[in-house]
Structure 1
Amino acid sequence: MTSTVTEDPQQRIEDVDVSTEMQHSYVEYAMSVIHSRALPDARDGLKPVQRRILYMMREMGLSPEKGHVKSARVVGEVMGKLHPHGDSAIYDALVRLARDFAMEVPLVDGHGNFGSLDDGPAASRYTEARLTAAAMLMTDSLDEDVVEFVPNYDNQLQQPAVLPAPFPNLLINGTSGIAVGMATNMPPHNPREAIAAAVHRLRHPHCDLDALMAVLPGPDLPSGGSIIGLDGVHDAYRTGRGTFTMRAKATIERTSPRRQSIIVTELPYMVGPEAVIQRIKDGVGAKKLKGIANVHDLTDRSNGLRLIIDVKTGFAPEAVLASLYRHTPLETNFGINNVVLVDGRPRTVGLAELLDVYDAHRMDVVRRRSEHRLTRARDRLHLVEGLLIAILDIDEVIALIRSSDDAETARTRLMSVFDLTERQAEYILELRLRRLTRFSQVELEAERDDLRQRIARLEELLGDEGRLRDQVARELEEVAKTLDQPRRTVLLAEDARVIAADVPLEIPDEPCEVLVSAAGRLVRRALPDGDGASADTTGTEAPDAAATSPAAGADDAAGVGVASRWRIGDPLPRPRRRRADALRARLRATTRGDLGVVTDRGRVLRTPVLGVPAAAPNLVQLSAGVAPERLVNLERGERVVGVISLVDERPLALATARGVVKRVQHEIPDRPEWELVTLHRGDRVVGLAAADDADELVFVSEQGQLLHYRADQVRPQGLAAQGMAGMRLADGDRVLWFGVVAAADAPDALVFTVAVDSTALADIVPGSAKVSPLADFPPKGRGTRGVRAQRMLKGEDQLSLAWVGRGVPRPLGAKAAPVSLDLLVARRDASGEPTDTPILAVGGPLEAD
């Protein structure tokens, strides 16, 4: 108890219980915060300061077609006339209304620096603002008595207690706020879906939540990203409280020849890139995050958000991304708490109740607007009918007025003589004579008829609840067309929450094989069970092809060597499997090892095997691989001719366009690049493959000559050597194709060649194709010309394509599309069969036919 004594008789002092006074004052303060600051009205979705900003900007005439004005001016007008609080609170509310990353449909069109998720806005004296088209809709029809107006803080001005809100702003833009003892947090939604839900509730007042969620499946966040699982959303729509998980949009891309990166282009709602970067740095420092080499923020106003997270070599990008989701704001939760003001009281509402409150508000707005328009139409009709009576005898009306002593007498005489009401007579007296020239009986009768029809429609609308609902629904659908925009946030099932749970963070160093397609693309896959031999066959221009030949210098007669299972005149069998690509080579490797990319200049560029895409289990699609040019940095004019294994210890055989051959000893320098051969000026490498002594080296020239001999005729040399003569060429001829065939596969080895007109476009004009058994070609000595592989038809002058390999060849056309051919196995020097489609590449089968 507090007791105060004073001798002043005019001063009244009462004893007050402190606890009672504190309780009473706290309740008053709490209710003031709840009503006047923190919680939005369920009808228009606005807090008092937001409502006052929009109303005052409308009164200032800041429509979208007008110019921007300083934000400080708006803040001053709002603070001085409607909101007697700090200017910073008003400006903060204005800024949020203008931010497109916070609002699904911004209500203020901001000009200048309104900040970002990581930075605050510029001062109000530097920024400018005006209303958006959506805000003009929010304040539409305020002059038609659609809502109640209340006095401002000093009872000198009037302000709307709520805005008409022709769209469910609370659902569309969401809200957040902290009051005394309660808080609200509501996510934004897609305008089209939110309005569709309001319309559905209008037309089906007793529909259940599932029906509403069929048209409003979940939030739509301005920042995009994805929402994982809808159980929390369903709970929030049902009870007003729930939680859902937001996830950033991230993809895995190759950003450099030796680097894979995680590219983040969309973040969870109200999460900034700087917060993500800081959490990543903290996680790496605390060793919670592994496999991250660097983070780059390339976000700008032109291209939007772009966060690049580099992944260290040897780590699975999918597993790193899953770790980022667990330990950084790339994945975060949003807690829905639908606390709003309903009839002036804070309540937690579900979706159905929220739509009911909004629909009731719109019904009331349209009803009041219709009543206002009906009253005005009746008033105008009353005056028009009076004018029609007076205009029939306008001269007598004028004479009566002129003969009257004063206005009161004239009004009384008009009412008496023409049977007019007081309002009609007063209206006629107030008309200026020059306005009478604009009236005509026909025009007045047309206006009267139009007013009567308008009155009838308004009376029908106000007299029928169903018509009123339809009118509100139609208006909502028209607004939906204005605010329509595509959904930004993807809704995913609950099972998408776990990513790469079965993928280890660090990729184990295990044996694998790299497949090279006929189009030159690379795919990595685990070794097939029990197929260790497949990984031992390495090449770049010829896959598992074979032909066993006698020693060099044997007789030139056909048929020397092992007997081929292919017989002249037999049809070439069609492959049992059709794929979108064909195989050129298999390379032995380990998952965390390196490959060598060989260029036509004889350079080897080291690149990690992990840079090659992994094939899906039990499915290899060669065309989905990566081009080796994307794995290394090439010089101007340099071209990739093959890929080699760095774990295969067999000597590497290569040939150049001028017929030079070289076998390189297995020597892998510890540096990112090295040279395999010293080339003469103007020469280039055309092919290479690993070759044991018993294997056959095969050359095919552009003029149609084929030469093959055992690899032991070429002694292995060091990296700096220039090689030796491999094939003797005629003037103007050059080596078109070079490869290696193993001795064990001789019965299956075939020679495939395509002859063309060199003056025609190879990818447009088809040529002629031929296939022959390799066993029909006698071996020759090193440095000789070999024998003819195809006789040219009229108009053909060179080979455009050659290939020697095991099994049925797989020719490919444009975009690596398979080409179907009906060919017979021909003699080695026969001419080819014309093709309907140009053949641009050829390879062997991925698996045995």
Structure 2
Amino acid sequence: MFDMPRRTTAPDQDFQERIVDIDVAAEMRTSFLEYAYSVIYQRALPDARDGLKPVQRRILYSMSEMGLRPDRGHVKSSRVVGEVMGKLHPHGDAAIYDALVRMAQPFSMRLPLVDGHGNFGSPDDAPAAMRYTEARLAPAAMLMVQSIDEETVDFRPNYDGQETEPAVLPAAFPNLLVNGASGIAVGMATNIPPHNLAEVIGAARHLLKKPDATLDELMQFVPGPDLPTGGLIIGLDAIREAYETGRGTFRMRARATIENVTARRKAIVVTELPFNVGPERVVAKIKELVQAKKLVGIADLKDLTDRHKGLRLVIEVKTGFNPEAVLEELYRLTPMEETFGINSVALVDGQPRTLGLRDLLAVYVNHRLEVVRRRSAYRRRKREERLHLVEGLITALLNIDEVIQVIRTSDDPAHARSRLMETFGLSEAQAGYILDTPLRRLTRYDKLELEREKEGLQAEIAELNAILGSEDRLRRVVSKELAEVAKKYGTPRRTQLLDSAEAALKTAIPLEVADDPCLVLLSSTGLIARTADASPLPGDGPRAPHDVLVSAVRTTVRGEVGVITSKGRMIRVSVVELPTLPASGDPPSLAGAQPVTEYVTLEPDEHVVGLGSLDEAGHGIALGTAQGVVKRVAPDYPVNRDDFEIISLREGDRVVGAVELESPDHDLVFITSDAQLLRFPAATVRPQGRPAGGVAGIRLAEGARVIWFGAVDPARESRVVTVAGSSTALPGTQTGTVKVSDYAVFPPKGRATGGVRAQRFLKGEDVLLLAWAGPAPAKAISPSGQPVELPAELGRRDGSGTRLMHRIAAIGGAIGAAPPARPAEDRAEEAAPAPDAGTAE
């Protein structure tokens, strides 16, 4: 146990003299007011003249004093923070570094004031620690401190009285409007959006010229904010209200476009986001909404942002959804649309005030006039002082011998100074300057230089006197300097301004694509597209250069069609994914169509032969193979498979034609390489399931092969076109002979018979190179896409053909029904004699 010291006095006697009774309410009131005053004037609110908070002003001034100009190297940010904190800003280093970082971020400042080197963060991520980053003043910051050493602004003691700091910076451009400001004080806050430098300077110059300019006149120069991140601003009425009263709200939208990321899928590509919104925040919100099933129509989301291409968010849209409507949902539910509340509160003469656009410009213009006035007065005084010294030197040069004699005979410098003043009528400053001037400067050449300098000083003094003596002259000088700043640092507007009504026009778009009737078209060169409606096709058929139609299937936009290949496969294709052609014209163009291979995957020796409907209520699809097999496919297609067989082919056989049957009363037509044509009613062929191999369609002669298969309406005027040639000629070297016949002259025969002759071969001809049958009139095109004139119709079905001047590449009619374009080598293979493949039973 330790002995406790004994108390020799009463318990409360020691503290009786140090206890002060105060009123708690009064103490809280006083302390809170002092704290609020400190926050308002020393931290949160910017000065309306230079647009800077105290910490920002101290950073720029300290970096200027440290010599961290744009032409010097970067230094560690921690060195700048330490200098500011030690001399001018007695608050935390974190607050100083945060302010430094913000002034270096191009996505926060419209005209950055600090040139940062290193990781200064992004809208989503914090910057690196100050020990890892470097900084120096940006070129625009030199405008803020320009001529600060010419007594243009007042200085005041720092927090401990050992240093001085500027109460405001000269600010050669309207920084508060250009870079904006945000801050939360006690009982008040400020939030001013950035603006375009050239626009703000244009308004300031107009106000200099016309001090009584109205708000509407100023808004001709400043129509609205210009955010560093670009994007769209919606709500011009709200902006005008904010410019008039200092308070208002407008909506910011991301800039997005609808693009084709693949031939079958569209995407919303976001290249600009609202101010202070980062891509990671948008991505996270979209994923959250998709998982909660509050946002539909989105298939995938990729963030392809990088330093070279900038922001790029690719939001892929599901098929069947309108990308424009999905974009409107993104605006409504995600940070791709945000509101900005303008609250223009700034310090004016030490008092917080809410200012409109005109007030903000007026405060800056008055400040700049005062800066240029004080600068001119300072420069005039300095030039007058120099002129006084130059005049003394000139006097000494004119009396150089006497001056030297006076100096040599004087006892000391003070005696020499007084004798010079008495002898030549000089001032003390002139006499002292003469004594300090080296003797080598007092030559005849230096006298000429001094005379020129005197004339220049007198001219400058006269110019400065004119500026100080005329308010109009002073305003012109300020206006000219502002114009030079705008010319050097001005950039084009980044943010597009939209009226609310313009944006509202897009909100009426339905989210999902309407299930309207349409036609899916397949061309001979393998292009596929859908029409905007299901109107009947014109008489000569939709045709683009180098192309005619193969198939035209009626369906709906949200339906599906089947792509039939030469290997007997059917591949499902969603109609809504196909490119849309304009409504039927005269003739409509297939220029917007896409290759069918963009939508289906084919094997190397496989090609598309036609399209078919997947509607089970139809009459099915008719297929014809090279070995003469015919099949009507029963429309019982599987609903859970996108790729399935619709015919079992024999080895070496392949599908040469596929057609959607509009009626069982139509004829099925085979045309063979040995010029035989067989037509028989489709009703004679019983529909079969998908695994079936079909039945005998035409009996082929030895070495013959089917080159065309299709369906023809016997009640409609139709034509048969055949082109004969030699099987031994090199592919692509012969034009052949063509014959056009009336379909009606060919008698119908029974299925599995040999048919009748369609063209008589001339000398040297032994094979049909090309054949087609379909609705009149028949059209043909050359490989170069030029129309080929067909001869007049022959009365005899088995007559010979007419010699062609140009080779035919494809034939079509009113609704197409041409064979798919294949290489000439394939056609030669078809024409060449082949061993008898037999007949399918």
Q: Judge conservation of contact 2:738–2:803 (CA < 8 Å) in 1.
A: yes
Deviation at 1:732, TM superposition (A): 14
Match of 2:520 among 514, 524, 532: 514
Q: Judge conservation of contact 1:39–1:339 (CA < 8 Å) in 2.
A: yes
Match of 1:215 among 200, 215, 221: 221
In structure 2, distance between residues paired with 1:57 and 1:347: 30
> Where do residues 325-344 of structure 1 align in structure 2 (5 Å cutoff)?
325-344=331-350
* Equivalent residue number for residue 523 of structure 1: 530
Q: Judge conservation of contact 1:251–1:262 (CA < 8 Å) in 2.
A: yes
Q: Note the alpha carbon deviations across 1:770-791, whole angstroms, 9 max, x for none.
A: 9967659968986888438999
Deviation at 1:704, TM superposition (A): 13
Q: Judge conservation of contact 2:676–2:755 (CA < 8 Å) in 1.
A: no
SS at match of 1:243: strand
* Equivalent residue number for residue 562 of structure 2: 596
Deviation at 1:429, TM superposition (A): 1.1
Match of 2:430 among 424, 434, 439: 424
> Where do residues 5-44 of structure 1 align in structure 2 (5 Å cutoff)?
16-44=22-50
The one-letter code of the counterpart of 2:562 is G
Q: Which moved more, 1:224-233 or 1:401-410?
A: 401-410
In structure 2, distance between residues paired with 1:493 and 1:753: 64
In structure 1, distance between residues paired with 2:723 and 2:213: 72
Deviation at 1:42, TM superposition (A): 1.1
Deviation at 1:615, TM superposition (A): 6.4
* Equivalent residue number for residue 198 of structure 2: 192
Q: Note the alpha carbon deviations across 1:329-350, whole angstroms, 9 max, x for none.
A: 2222111111111111111111
> Where do residues 630-669 of structure 1 align in structure 2 (5 Å cutoff)?
630-633=598-601, 642-647=610-615, 649-653=618-622, 663=631, 665=633, 666=635, 668-669=637-638
* Equivalent residue number for residue 107 of structure 1: 113
The one-letter code of the counterpart of 1:94 is L
Cα 1:456–1:593 shift into 2, 3 Å: same
2:146 is equivalent to residue 144 of structure 1: no
In structure 1, distance between residues paired with 2:399 and 2:739: 110
- The count of corresponding residues between Structure 1 and Structure 2 is 781
Match of 2:659 among 671, 682, 689: 689
In structure 2, distance between residues paired with 1:288 and 1:65: 54
5+ residue gaps, structure 1: 529-533, 535-542, 546-573, 793-797
SS at match of 2:121: coil
SS at match of 2:644: strand
The one-letter code of the counterpart of 2:130 is S
Match of 1:587 among 525, 532, 553: 553
SS at match of 1:110: strand
* Equivalent residue number for residue 577 of structure 2: 611
Match of 2:278 among 256, 272, 282: 272
Deviation at 1:613, TM superposition (A): 4.5
Q: Note the alpha carbon deviations across 1:54-80, whole angstroms, 9 max, x for none.
A: 111122222223222221111111100
In structure 2, distance between residues paired with 1:660 and 1:466: 99
Match of 1:52 among 49, 58, 83: 58
> Where do residues 447-462 of structure 1 align in structure 2 (5 Å cutoff)?
447-462=453-468
Q: Which moved more, 1:513-522 or 1:25-34?
A: 513-522
Cα 1:464–1:515 shift into 2, 3 Å: farther
* Equivalent residue number for residue 386 of structure 1: 392
In structure 2, distance between residues paired with 1:732 and 1:475: 91
* Equivalent residue number for residue 827 of structure 2: none
SS at match of 1:426: helix
In structure 1, distance between residues paired with 2:155 and 2:649: 91
In structure 1, distance between residues paired with 2:595 and 2:443: 85
2:386 is equivalent to residue 415 of structure 1: no
> Where do residues 160-171 of structure 1 align in structure 2 (5 Å cutoff)?
160-171=166-177
Cα 1:606–1:35 shift into 2, 3 Å: same
Deviation at 1:843, TM superposition (A): 7.9
The one-letter code of the counterpart of 2:572 is R
SS at match of 1:217: coil
In structure 1, distance between residues paired with 2:217 and 2:723: 66
SS at match of 2:159: coil
Deviation at 1:113, TM superposition (A): 2.0
* Equivalent residue number for residue 243 of structure 2: 237
Q: Judge conservation of contact 1:807–1:845 (CA < 8 Å) in 2.
A: no
RMSD of aligned Cα (Å): 4.8
Match of 1:321 among 322, 327, 332: 327
Q: Judge conservation of contact 1:296–1:308 (CA < 8 Å) in 2.
A: yes
In structure 2, distance between residues paired with 1:333 and 1:448: 61
Cα 1:447–1:628 shift into 2, 3 Å: farther
Q: Which moved more, 1:516-525 or 1:448-457?
A: 516-525
Q: Note the alpha carbon deviations across 1:136-160, whole angstroms, 9 max, x for none.
A: 2222222222222222111222221
Deviation at 1:685, TM superposition (A): 6.7
* Equivalent residue number for residue 161 of structure 2: 155
Q: Judge conservation of contact 1:706–1:786 (CA < 8 Å) in 2.
A: yes
* Equivalent residue number for residue 566 of structure 1: none
Q: Judge conservation of contact 1:708–1:786 (CA < 8 Å) in 2.
A: no
Cα 1:330–1:672 shift into 2, 3 Å: same
Q: Which moved more, 1:151-160 or 1:277-286?
A: 277-286
The one-letter code of the counterpart of 1:522 is A
Cα 1:638–1:453 shift into 2, 3 Å: farther
Q: Judge conservation of contact 1:105–1:134 (CA < 8 Å) in 2.
A: yes
* Equivalent residue number for residue 672 of structure 1: 642
Q: Judge conservation of contact 2:528–2:578 (CA < 8 Å) in 1.
A: no
Deviation at 1:653, TM superposition (A): 4.7
Q: Judge conservation of contact 2:670–2:677 (CA < 8 Å) in 1.
A: yes
2:483 is equivalent to residue 477 of structure 1: yes
In structure 2, distance between residues paired with 1:382 and 1:730: 123
Cα 1:722–1:576 shift into 2, 3 Å: closer
The one-letter code of the counterpart of 1:523 is R
In structure 2, distance between residues paired with 1:476 and 1:698: 84
Q: Judge conservation of contact 1:226–1:489 (CA < 8 Å) in 2.
A: yes
Deviation at 1:811, TM superposition (A): 7.2
* Equivalent residue number for residue 717 of structure 2: 746
In structure 1, distance between residues paired with 2:379 and 2:739: 89
Q: Judge conservation of contact 1:273–1:307 (CA < 8 Å) in 2.
A: yes
Deviation at 1:87, TM superposition (A): 0.6
The one-letter code of the counterpart of 2:466 is E
Q: Judge conservation of contact 1:694–1:710 (CA < 8 Å) in 2.
A: no
Q: Judge conservation of contact 1:602–1:684 (CA < 8 Å) in 2.
A: yes
Q: Judge conservation of contact 2:238–2:250 (CA < 8 Å) in 1.
A: yes
* Equivalent residue number for residue 569 of structure 1: none
Cα 1:413–1:673 shift into 2, 3 Å: same
In structure 2, distance between residues paired with 1:637 and 1:399: 115
Cα 1:311–1:834 shift into 2, 3 Å: closer
Q: Judge conservation of contact 1:411–1:422 (CA < 8 Å) in 2.
A: yes
Q: Which moved more, 1:230-239 or 1:167-176?
A: 167-176
SS at match of 2:532: strand
Q: Note the alpha carbon deviations across 1:462-520, whole angstroms, 9 max, x for none.
A: 22222222222222222112222232222122124436544444556565433456772
Q: Judge conservation of contact 1:653–1:661 (CA < 8 Å) in 2.
A: no
In structure 1, distance between residues paired with 2:272 and 2:339: 15
2:462 is equivalent to residue 493 of structure 1: no
SS at match of 1:596: strand
Q: Judge conservation of contact 1:76–1:87 (CA < 8 Å) in 2.
A: yes
Q: Which moved more, 1:292-301 or 1:473-482?
A: 292-301
Q: Judge conservation of contact 2:632–2:694 (CA < 8 Å) in 1.
A: no
* Equivalent residue number for residue 77 of structure 1: 83
Match of 2:104 among 98, 101, 105: 98
> Where do residues 257-296 of structure 1 align in structure 2 (5 Å cutoff)?
260-284=266-290, 286-296=292-302
In structure 1, distance between residues paired with 2:346 and 2:257: 38
In structure 1, distance between residues paired with 2:763 and 2:360: 84
SS at match of 2:501: helix
* Equivalent residue number for residue 787 of structure 1: 759
Q: Judge conservation of contact 2:678–2:756 (CA < 8 Å) in 1.
A: no
Q: Judge conservation of contact 1:322–1:499 (CA < 8 Å) in 2.
A: no
Q: Judge conservation of contact 2:417–2:431 (CA < 8 Å) in 1.
A: yes
